[in-house]
Amino acid sequence: MARFVLRRLALSLPLLFIVPFLTFVMVALAPGDAARTILGEDFTPAAYEALRHELGLDRPLLVRYGSWLADALQGDLGKSPITGLGVTDEIASRVWVTVSLVVATTLVAALIGIGLGVLSSIRQNRLARLVDVVSLVGFSLPSFWVGLVLVALFSVALGIFPATGYVPLDVSPNQWALALVLPVAALSFHALAAIAKQTRDAMLDVLSRDYITSLRAHGISERSIVLKHALRNAAIPVSTVVGLLFIGLLDGTVLVESVFAMPGLGGLVVDATFAHDMPVLQGVVVTFTLAVIVINLIVDIAYGWFNPKARLQ
């Protein structure tokens, strides 16, 4: 098991170096830079060169990457040339908003999606069709649009939930939960549909296996067959899908945090993009990449936990 996880980790750790490098290359290839952004329309060449030097933009690409990497490894992701704030602090102050959103969404999508998938695998016909419809609709509706519709319905028309904002958990758990309801609903729609469909397919596959017939022949109850044996076996492919969807949710937060004006990393990315604030973008990319590696690790551990063949290799 340990070897299995370590091997997977060895494959994904290079991402932490490759992804920021790719962004460095892209920024270098592209026309324009942060100095020009800061100076605006009118500037003298001398002032431009001076600012470039000050920001370190005149050094070769590999040198810049090397010095960024050396700092990053010590937890220093640099400083925003736009706001002057430290990127690490900025990210640290916003990361919990995004974590709340993504974790809550994953839990909601996994619980409802797996429940719906299991139900539709044992009661076929109508419910199975419902899962098909839900997954198609979930696939087609953009999360940001669903979010806006939810705002129109539940905030503007009915006034049940706040339309925007975020309240930290330690300030008021109640308001924290209330503020999360609509964003989580908007974001979980797609993931929920995908998980329901995947669970249904995996359950149907498992339920047609020989060992399920054998268990029935031993007189084991349907309850144990479905909830213990079939679900545990179906969990192997489903856990992989949940992991992939979690990675997709990181992208989703960029849009949904914008809709609900939440002060998370997604909102930070949008602001930084408008401001051409590369250090901040770079920092968020690293944070997200780190999150992806952690998720993959958790998925691998879950995979090994569910699947003795992988664990005991």
Site residues for other proteins, 88-147, by CB under 8 A, read: 136-137, 139-142, 144-145
**Position 18 contacts other proteins (CB under 8 A):** yes
Q: x/- binding map, residues 159-188, to other proteins, per CB under 8 A?
A: ----x-------------------------
278 vs 80: CA distance, rounded Å: 8
CB of 142 to other proteins, least distance (A): 5
Q: Select from 28-36, 60-68, 82-90, 108-116 the region that touches other proteins (CB under 8 A).
A: 28-36
Residue 289 contacts other proteins per CB under 8 A: yes
User: Contact region for other proteins (CB under 8 A) — 52-60, 74-82, 89-97, 265-273?
Assistant: 265-273
Q: What CA–CA distances, in Å, run from 151 to 64, 146, 207?
A: 44, 9, 41
Which residue, 179 or 293, has its beta carbon nearer to other proteins? 293
**Angle at 26 (CA atoms; ends 23, 32), nearest 5 degrees:** 120
For other proteins, the binding residues in 30-69 under the rule CB under 8 A are: 30-32
Give the DSSP per-residue string, 243-254.
HHHHHHHHHHHH
Rounded alpha-carbon distances, angstroms, from residue 99 to 9, 246, 299: 22, 11, 17
Alpha-carbon span 203 to 194, nearest angstrom: 14
Among 281, 299, 300, 303, binds other proteins (CB under 8 A): 281
In the complex, minimum distance from the CB of residue 171 to other proteins, in angstroms, rounded to a whole number: 26
Q: State which of positions 242-261 bind other proteins (CB under 8 A).
A: 244, 247, 250-251, 254-255, 258-259
| Token representation of residue 41 | 């329309």
Asked if 311 and 304 count as a contact pair (C-beta separation under 8 A), the reply is yes
Residue position matching structure tokens 């968020």: 284
- What separation in angstroms does the CA of 91 have from each of 88, 269, 296? 5, 10, 22
Give whichever of 100 and 253 is closer to other proteins, judged by the CB atom: 253
Closer Cβ to other proteins, 44 or 125, answer by number: 125
What's the helix, strand, coil split of the chain in %, to 5?
80, 0, 20
Which member of 2, 29, 46, 158 binds other proteins (CB under 8 A)? Answer: 29
Q: How near is the Cβ of 107 to other proteins at its closest, in Å?
A: 20
